[in-house]
Structure 1
Amino acid sequence: MPTREAEDTEPEISAERAHLTRSRDALRRMRENVLSLDASGAGDWVSAQVLGADLAKRAEALRDDPTTALFFGRLDHPGERLYVGRRHVHDDGGRALVIDWRAPMARPFYKASTADPMGLVLRRRFGYSGGELTAFEDEDFSAPVESRLLIEEIERPRVGPMRDIVATIQPEQDDIVRADADHTLCVQGAPGTGKTAVGLHRVAYLLYAHRERMRRGGVLVIGPSASFLDYIRGVLPALGEVNVEQRTLDEVVATVPVRARDEPGAGRIKGDARMAEVLRRAVWSHLREPSEALVVPRGTRRWRIPAYEITELAEALRDRGVRYGAGRDLLGHRIAHAVLLRIETAGDACDDRTHEAVRRTRPVKAMVDHVWPALDPVRVVMRLLSDAEFLARAADGLLDPGEQAALLWDRPPRGPKSARWTPADAVLVDEAADLISRTSSLSHVVLDEAQDLSAMQCRAVGRRCETGSVTVLGDIAQGTTPWAVGDWPALLRHLGKPDADLTVLDRGYRVPRQIIDFASRLLPRIAPELAPPTSVRSAPGSLRIARATDLRAAVEDACREALDGEGSIGLIAAEADAAGLGEHLTACGLEHVRLADGMAGARLVLTPATQAKGLEFDQVIVVEPAAIVDAEPDGDRSPGLRRLYVVLTRAVSRLTVLHARDLPDPLR
């Protein structure tokens, strides 16, 4: 496909630049119109505050970034021309100057092909430099072509957080982005296939196509780490969506202060699906039979309900499958109803006020407290992890004595605040809380790096989308936690979405073929069921492997060489080695930032291997692969090699592997 630069087609490109100028001016006027609106006339103070907040969000969504392409494509139909961009822009008369990429009319930009032009006579892509329109390519669908501008946009160096891919979405990605809102999708995506970006663009699409529904229920993006969320945080605002919550799973289930980490064995047990039944038994074991009949005084009479009848009422509620807390509330009503039946049989009239008065009497409330005591989920889990007898009763036939022993704390805490809670404990508390009171469901959840979740973590996410849908993103080959479920069908069952559609993305756009082929040597060991991914990009010289006798000197040289190039640089090493490398970089005068401090501020980012998942850098320098492998606990799923696979696939343009020890066997 010919790419026409500015000097080659001056009249035509001048016309396109003029349209860009008109569009930016129109967008500025749209924002000014929103800012000019007065929320004080809403009628009352609360309405004025709500309207003011909505107007502020709308104005923020209309803010123009002059360094970003306002439109990136043009669609020519017979008698009609449409410009495709990040947001809708119209002139003062309401005529569309740019259509939103999510609009149905924009879909041919992503899906039209030689086999099916979708009514187009021409598709034009635009090239930009710092917000200035510099080039364009035309496709008339007479023959299959490869877009140079598309490849250049994919390969364009970047520093800092992730960018949107709205100008480069591929047909198979577009199918995921625009899937029906009721569908739960599971995307098995190899490195570089854009699965994270696809998930974020799906959120933007759903908020466009089903805005009221999504706003009403809420949308949540769950990522694996704070660093990952910091990396992706700017994508949705760049697409005009500024009000989507993005959190880690630890933040989602943050019911207790986490101060410790589990040993792998304890973590596996706490994450096992059997713990759901253990907790259910623990919660419902608090029901007790009444020790005597209930006597309720009412006026000059006393009404007696025998103990066996109250037991039957409680058992009937439990058998209905109600939440524990709802059952406790209902028991008071059922007991009051039993009393009212006796009063009516005696000839007295009763109404709702009588029912409520009886329910609130001290004897009824005391009976409910005895038979169906109120529970705190934190204290239930604390007792389960510190009381061997209580755990044994709840886990009988589910966990063997060794597994029970692995769960118990060494020293029982004095109270919930003094306990050394772990992230897995917080998930158990969340499960117990849902047994007591139902968790609210969202409209949509995006779950990224899902392959690392335990069954209990999946259940925690599933509770939050019970009546909504989920976009599950991950790569089985990149699963590194000891408690990971291990396969998509099992994970989807624990998530409560067993009928989800599974889509495989195995065509990479970001990682060059030389790098992905090298990393794929690990797949027969870590995920033999997965076919090696392919890459549309070939970049000779993008992979360099070097043995070094002085590893730190080699790191310094590699960093200096990388800094002479363009884009972001990730220096990735085992966590135990990262601090020493940081000190060495400082001593050498090499400006850098630690990943924990954010990716802004320097091109060179020192990244522990355990925190690299989901991130991308233009250049990656991997230090001592054997140390990265050895840092992971032993396991039958080769967690060390899986971690190395993650690390080796973070590079977009160039990968340098430095080692003093022998490389792991599959890479030799």
Structure 2
Amino acid sequence: MSSPAPPHDQPHDQPYDQPRDPLRRERDHLAASRAALRAMRQDVEALDISDVTGNWVNAKILTGEIETRIRALADLAGTPLFFGRLDYLHAPGAEPTEGAAAESFYIGRRHVHDADGDPMVVDWRAPVSQPFYRASRSEPMEVALRRRFGYTGGELTAYEDEHLSDPAESDSSSRLLQAEIERPRVGPMRDIVATIQPEQDEIVRAGVGGTVCVQGAPGTGKTAVGLHRVAYLLYAHRERLARTGTLVIGPNRSFLRYIEQVLPALGELQVRQSTVDDLVAHVEVRGTDSATSARVKGDARMAEVLRRAVRSGIRMPTEPVVVVRGSRRWRLPPYELEEIVRELADREIRYGAAREALPQRIAHAVLVQMERAGEAPDDRVQDAVARTPAVKAAVKACWPPVDPARTVLRLLSDPEFLASCADGLLTGEEQRAVLWARPARGLKAARWSAADAVLVDEAYDLVQRTSSLGHVVLDEAQDLSPMQYRAVGRRCSTGSATVLGDLAQGTTPWATSSWAEALAHLGKPGARVEELTRGFRVPREVIAYASRLLPAIAPGLAPATSVREAAGALSVRQVLADALDSAVVAACRESLAQEGSTGLIAADPRVPELAAALAAAGLSCLSPGEETSATARLTLVPASLAKGLEYDYVVLDEPAAVVAAEPDTRTGLRRLYVALTRAVSGLAVVHAQPLPAELAR
């Protein structure tokens, strides 16, 4: 990056010399752009569609589209309309000629044009905006100057220039860029559209046709990259994705609440967000599994067990089918009917699709006999034969209807049925692990677990194909079981996906050990894997401290680096056991004395005790997912819900308790790694028990 000019700050009350004051001109352009955006919105609001549509259905659809467009044109208070400017040496893409006029483009979150249709702000996703993120002194991409803007709220207060084609400037970092990265985190997650880095931009702008897997260390912005990729794809392939749909999948609802404002801030209002549990909610989840049971139920072998269970009712015929048509009787012998059934079974098509095809196949065989007898039946006759009681009875006997939930219920309740379906796949011990202790008396009485719900979803897909979307973003993917990957893969079987995760942060008993294995279960074995190791969020001292755990939790991963240094960002305090709660409260007070948000992260069993200690000290706290504000900046976070969240300051209570709360040491250390890497500005570790050996060394 070439050496930037220092930021230029101008107080509002200082008189301006219009021809010589760049800051004043930029503020004038901002005001004019906001006025143009208001005019664009007013034009849409003024549209009269009373005589445009032919019926009320089309009118309702068009009204909904207009309302969506009006919301997308909202001028968000406190959000900069543009954050940068590019001055090209000549018209982008044109051959340079002597005397060619330079062109300037303001880069922002959405396109804004004036009354004549000329652009005043260019969408950050447009091709002409790409050099704002990728141009450098060594590769200026026809850009003479890149200007970044600084804001306070929605008011433009500073600018900073990089003359990319000037060899006299030396490389250095942008102070405005650094300030934007380090801006305090109050409220939900915000977009990073003004700070996207070249390696991030390459992933964001990858084509819609292929799946991309992003292995990202803490603080590298992988979640933001995934969300901005959705926004980019909707811009570049609007018509296609509007038809097929997009979906963002997060680990829990707290996480989804945290990220839910990012896409609307970028003008995208139609992207659905969900958890894996919500996707497979065919049954009500009221039970829980042991770690052993959940691990077996999440194993990919269960897919074949379920396939056998769904198809277990298929029977070969023993009686002929006799169809009566007028005065004639047509007899289909058992061996011919068996050929039809076996052919459908061998094709491995969905159970329901095969069952729908079977009566037509039988009817076709009857029509062949009719034609041999000199008749000339048509399609209507075939449909009529397929609906006869004899054919219906044969279909029911050979290929009975299957209820997916009841099939899974039987599988988990009936040892003999499970043994027949799992023969050669699951050991006797594994079969006993997945069986329910008390068989349920009917679907309504069943206490389904989250892992059971995934099995039911697999069974539904074996009966009828799951609809596929155009693009799916899967965040915190390292925590999914193979069966959960299959459930997500069904939602993008004909589309593409962006898979985001960090193998070092896997905290479930079935956590992913390699991306190649995970992508195979997802149905995307040829996906491109990208690795982000340069951190922008977590200070260097904090990430180095957390990286002490990597040899134990993910020995194949390289430690992350960080572009940020923050003196005093890390403190580790050991106290007496009876003083732990008061020391934690004191650390929270210290953090709250700084600007920004504070997260108190603790092992789940410790949360009630700490909540009481905070209340006794007069400190109110939020729950994960609740929006922080200027008056409510402290969040009490169970370690199990910390993944994906970030706070300016983190107080970590008793690391040894975080590790001990998990079923095994490795999972506990991974949970601790997650908790240690949630801080943007400072981390205070408060402990009474000895630190885990992996962290202490």
- How far apart are residue 353 of structure 1 and its match? 1.1
CA distance in 2, matches of 1:139, 1:355: 75
**Which shows bigger deviation, 303-312 or 230-239?**
303-312
Which of the numbers 4, 13, 16 marks the counterpart of 2:8? 4
| 2:659 corresponds to 1:649 | no
Alignment correspondent of 1:31: 41
1:142-199 CA distance string (max 9 Å, x none)? 3322100000000000212100000000000000000011111000000000000000
| 2:267 corresponds to 1:240 | yes
Alignment correspondent of 1:417: 444
1:369-415 CA distance string (max 9 Å, x none)? 11001111101111110111111111000001000011101111111
The 1:9–1:307 alpha-carbon spacing in structure 2 relative to 1, beyond 3 Å, is farther
Alignment correspondent of 1:584: 613
- How far apart are residue 599 of structure 1 and its match? 4.8
| 2:54 corresponds to 1:43 | yes
- How far apart are residue 311 of structure 1 and its match? 1.3
| 2:634 corresponds to 1:604 | yes
Alignment correspondent of 2:379: 352
Equivalent residues of 1:455, 1:484 under 8 A apart? no
- How far apart are residue 598 of structure 1 and its match? 5.3
Alignment correspondent of 1:56: 67
| 2:117 corresponds to 1:97 | no
The 1:40–1:579 alpha-carbon spacing in structure 2 relative to 1, beyond 3 Å, is farther
- How far apart are residue 9 of structure 1 and its match? 11
Alignment correspondent of 1:132: 155
Alignment correspondent of 1:73: 84
CA distance in 1, matches of 2:140, 2:637: 45
CA distance in 2, matches of 1:428, 1:39: 48
CA distance in 2, matches of 1:186, 1:65: 32
1:185-225 CA distance string (max 9 Å, x none)? 00000000000000000000000000011111100000000
Alignment correspondent of 2:657: 627
Superposed counterparts of 1:3-402, under 5 Å = 3-6=7-10, 11-41=21-51, 42-78=53-89, 79-141=102-164, 142=167, 143-402=170-429
1:89-148 CA distance string (max 9 Å, x none)? 001111100000000000010000011100011000000001111111000023322100
CA distance in 2, matches of 1:43, 1:585: 63
The 1:532–1:309 alpha-carbon spacing in structure 2 relative to 1, beyond 3 Å, is same
Equivalent residues of 2:251, 2:476 under 8 A apart? yes
| 2:478 corresponds to 1:455 | no
**2:336 match: secondary structure:** helix
- How far apart are residue 270 of structure 1 and its match? 0.6
Alignment correspondent of 1:659: 687
- How far apart are residue 12 of structure 1 and its match? 1.3
Q: What TM-score does the superposition give when structure 1 sets the normalisation length?
A: 0.98
CA distance in 2, matches of 1:349, 1:15: 84
- How far apart are residue 484 of structure 1 and its match? 1.9
Superposed counterparts of 1:487-506, under 5 Å = 487-506=514-533
1:342-382 CA distance string (max 9 Å, x none)? 12222222111111111001111011011001111101111
**2:146 match: secondary structure:** strand
**Which shows bigger deviation, 298-307 or 443-452?**
298-307
1:641-664 CA distance string (max 9 Å, x none)? 000000000000010111011111
Equivalent residues of 1:231, 1:599 under 8 A apart? no
Alignment correspondent of 2:603: 574
CA distance in 1, matches of 2:214, 2:148: 28
CA distance in 1, matches of 2:512, 2:537: 28
- How far apart are residue 597 of structure 1 and its match? 5.0
Equivalent residues of 2:188, 2:627 under 8 A apart? no
Amino acid at match of 1:645: Y
Equivalent residues of 2:213, 2:500 under 8 A apart? yes
Amino acid at match of 2:10: A
CA distance in 1, matches of 2:585, 2:438: 47
- How far apart are residue 321 of structure 1 and its match? 2.0
- How far apart are residue 585 of structure 1 and its match? 1.2
**Which shows bigger deviation, 293-302 or 153-162?**
293-302
**2:640 match: secondary structure:** helix
Report the RMSD for the aligned CA atoms in angstroms: 1.2
Equivalent residues of 1:39, 1:49 under 8 A apart? no
CA distance in 2, matches of 1:348, 1:259: 60
CA distance in 1, matches of 2:643, 2:425: 34
Equivalent residues of 2:503, 2:512 under 8 A apart? no
CA distance in 2, matches of 1:47, 1:338: 45
**Structure 2 residue ranges without an equivalent (≥5):** 90-101
- State how many pairs are aligned: 666
CA distance in 2, matches of 1:591, 1:128: 31
Which of the numbers 553, 558, 579 marks the counterpart of 2:582? 553
- How far apart are residue 38 of structure 1 and its match? 2.5
**1:595 match: secondary structure:** coil
Amino acid at match of 1:16: E
Equivalent residues of 1:264, 1:482 under 8 A apart? yes
CA distance in 2, matches of 1:59, 1:583: 46
CA distance in 1, matches of 2:48, 2:62: 9
**1:63 match: secondary structure:** coil
**Structure 1 residue ranges without an equivalent (≥5):** none
Q: What TM-score does the superposition give when structure 2 sets the normalisation length?
A: 0.94
Equivalent residues of 1:570, 1:605 under 8 A apart? yes
CA distance in 1, matches of 2:585, 2:257: 27
CA distance in 2, matches of 1:503, 1:348: 65
**1:321 match: secondary structure:** coil
**Which shows bigger deviation, 577-586 or 209-218?**
577-586
